[in-house]
Amino acid sequence: MNRKKIYPLYLAAIPALIFIVFFLLPSTAGYYYAFTNWSAARTTDLKFVGLENVISVIQNTKIPKAFVNTLIYAGVKTVLVTVLGFVFAYILNREIKSRTALRTIYFIPAIFSCLVVGLIFSAVFQTRYGTLNNILNVFGIANVQWLGTRGTAVFSICTAEVWRNVGYAIIITLAGLQSVSADYLEAAKLDGASEWQIFRHVTLPLIMPTVNVNILFSLIYGLKMFDLIYVMTGGGPGNDTESFGTLMMNEMSAGRYAQSVAVNLVFTVILVIVALAYQKFSSKWETVE
């Protein structure tokens, strides 16, 4: 029997339709506004202004800093979240007595909204009464303005973001580990393979697709990051911690809607390139394994 009959397209038709109608169409249509003079002061009778807004975005003096910051956020987040998530998930998948409790504790940060995580870490990194400075004071180190200079503020934001997202990575990886068939592991054990060998040659290749989901997910959401930055530093001090996401928000709250969409458009183009490049790279990697 041929594939077309075994896997009929109609099963995918409804999901595809809903996805296209309720998300893809409106989102794509939304980008049209980047080429108009849409603003808080003008919501009807919009005029087409061509690339004017896109050009003004590219020329914006805040873009270079925001671009570098965005890369730092996404890079640090992706590496740390994926690695930590994997390590914790691997341990939590072992037969540990209190693992239900541990799994729950490690997952809770993922439930909190960005506002709460922002509040928590603002308190941890606060200069005068913050937890971290209190600890440093015990060792005789003077107060550090964690959120007051660029390097430390970017570091603080990354810490908070990683803290919030390791939970996601853990449960996604756990799901992957749990669908590794016990039979494979048994077979490998009977062949006398060591734990490391089993891990390297059985477990790792089998959950590579899940790890890829984690990486792509962290990467894209890391690049899109804005709300945590907004709560913790508001993009400041000055514009030192601004990302593409916060620039978009700034344009939006100033009522410059078309410009906000234009920032988004430029940003989306970058994201699409990154995502496609990564997929190409990772598909090779999966087939090699």
Which residue lies nearer to other proteins by CB, 77 or 256?
256
- Is 81 a binding residue for other proteins by CB under 8 A? The answer is no
- Is 277 a binding residue for other proteins by CB under 8 A? The answer is no
Residue 249 C-beta: closest distance to other proteins, Å: 8
Q: Looking at 72, 75, 107, 155, which residue binds other proteins (CB under 8 A)?
A: 107
Angle between helices 204-223 and 63-92 (to 10 degrees): 150
- Is 95 a binding residue for other proteins by CB under 8 A? The answer is yes
Return the residues of window 18-77 that contact other proteins according to CB under 8 A.
18-19, 21-31, 33, 37, 39-44, 56, 61
Give the position of tokens 């990564």: 278
Return the residues of window 145-184 that contact other proteins according to CB under 8 A.
145-149, 163, 168, 171-172, 174-176, 178-179, 181-184
Which residue lies nearer to other proteins by CB, 30 or 50?
30
- Is 222 a binding residue for other proteins by CB under 8 A? The answer is no
- Is 204 a binding residue for other proteins by CB under 8 A? The answer is no
Residue 72 C-beta: closest distance to other proteins, Å: 19
CB 225 within 8 A of CB 243: yes
Give residue 73's identity as a one-letter amino acid code. Y
CA angle 230, 231, 234 (to 5 degrees): 40
Q: Looking at 1, 138, 190, 288, which residue binds other proteins (CB under 8 A)?
A: 1
- Is 198 a binding residue for other proteins by CB under 8 A? The answer is no
CA angle 122, 127, 131 (to 5 degrees): 65
* 12: Cα within 13 Å, side-chain hemisphere: 5
- Is 139 a binding residue for other proteins by CB under 8 A? The answer is no
DSSP 48: B
Return the residues of window 227-266 that contact other proteins according to CB under 8 A.
230, 233-239, 250, 252-259, 264
CB 79 within 8 A of CB 215: no
- Is 190 a binding residue for other proteins by CB under 8 A? The answer is no
10 Å CB burial of residue 223 (0-12, 13-18, 19+) is buried
Q: Which stretch binds other proteins (CB under 8 A): 67-75, 113-121, 196-204?
A: 113-121
Residue 210 C-beta: closest distance to other proteins, Å: 6
Nearest one of 276, 284, 285, 104 to 204, comparing CA atoms: 285
Residue 169 C-beta: closest distance to other proteins, Å: 11
d(CA 77, CA 278) in angstroms, rounded, equals 16
- Is 88 a binding residue for other proteins by CB under 8 A? The answer is yes
3-class SS at 81? helix
d(CA 208, CA 88) in angstroms, rounded, equals 16
Q: Looking at 83, 193, 198, 206, which residue binds other proteins (CB under 8 A)?
A: 206
CB contact burial 22-38 (16+ within 10 A = b; e otherwise): eeeeeeeeeeebbbbbb
